[in-house]
């Protein structure tokens, strides 16, 4: 399979036609070999415009959705980013290739190990894989200029606001029971979060982040 051609087609047909105009994100997704973050059996479908099942109810989310989330994070070079749900490591690679310093949080030790190997194999610097429950975030690396959820969440745990720097952004898909998933951007001003919905997306849920009472949105 000609992966370079497939990657070019992904950028031209999935990203540029869907309002992805941040050239750092486009350049990163043009350069990083998405297939190299997947098991051999899945590499032939690396560039489809669908979520790719990785096993264990985890997915590599579709390129257009991740690209638009990354774009709404409005990253500047050198900013610190928490990526929630690192999975196979591809999202961390894209954010790092776009110039961010990334803390890629993963709750499953198998995925964390695979992500570290893939990031090293692709010579991605600036991406650090850390392990812990996704709902707790990663306070050790805070404050973050941006927090990106690589998958859907039913809720935004209140602790994430405390890990976000003033003026920082949180982006993710909020999926509540019986409703379509909605990409949401939160911004922190004066110590408080404001939010807005920016597009719809049917993205699979991250583990431990389904809707429960007692959390803020």
pLDDT in tens, the chain (217 residues): 999 999 999 999 999 999 999 999 999 999 999 999 999 999 999 999 999 999 989 999 999 999 999 999 999 999 999 999 999 999 999 999 999 999 999 999 999 999 999 999 999 999 999 999 999 999 999 999 999 999 999 989 888 999 999 999 999 999 988 788 999 999 999 999 999 999 999 999 999 998 654 444 4
- Does residue 23 lie within any of the structural domains? yes
- Does residue 24 lie within any of the structural domains? yes
CA distances for 9 relative to 14, 16, 82, angstroms: 8, 10, 29
CA angle at residue 40 from 10 to 51, to 5 degrees? 45
Domain count for the chain, please give it: 1
- Does residue 207 lie within any of the structural domains? no
Q: Residue 183 maps to which CATH number?
A: 3.40.50.150
**CB-based burial, 67-106: b 16+ in 10 Å, e otherwise:** bbbbbbbebeeebbbbbbbbbbbbbbbbbbbbebbbbbbb
Q: What is the pTM of this model?
A: 0.95
């Amino acid at each position: 399979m000609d992966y370079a051609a497939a990657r070019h087609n992904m950028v031209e047909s999935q990203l540029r036609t869907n309002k992805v105009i941040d050239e750092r994100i486009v350049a990163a997704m043009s350069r990083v070999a998405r297939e190299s973050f997947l098991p051999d059996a899945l590499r032939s479908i690396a560039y489809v415009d669908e979520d790719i099942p990785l096993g264990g109810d985890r997915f590599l989310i579709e390129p257009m959705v991740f690209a638009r989330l990354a774009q709404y994070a409005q990253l500047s070079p050198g900013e610190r980013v928490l990526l929630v749900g690192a999975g196979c490591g591809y999202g961390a690679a894209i954010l790092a290739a776009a110039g961010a310093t990334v803390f890629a949080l993963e709750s499953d030790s198998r995925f964390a190990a695979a992500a570290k190997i893939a990031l090293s194999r692709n010579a991605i610097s600036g991406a650090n894989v850390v392990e812990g429950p996704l709902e707790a975030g990663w306070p050790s690396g805070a404050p973050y200029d941006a927090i990106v959820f690589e998958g859907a969440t039913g809720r935004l745990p209140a602790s994430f606001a405390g890990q976000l720097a003033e003026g920082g952004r949180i982006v993710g898909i909020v999926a509540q029971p019986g409703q379509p998933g909605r990409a949401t951007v939160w911004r922190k001003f004066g110590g408080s979060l404001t939010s807005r919905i920016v597009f719809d997306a049917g993205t699979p849920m991250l583990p431990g982040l389904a809707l429960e009472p007692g959390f803020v949105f």
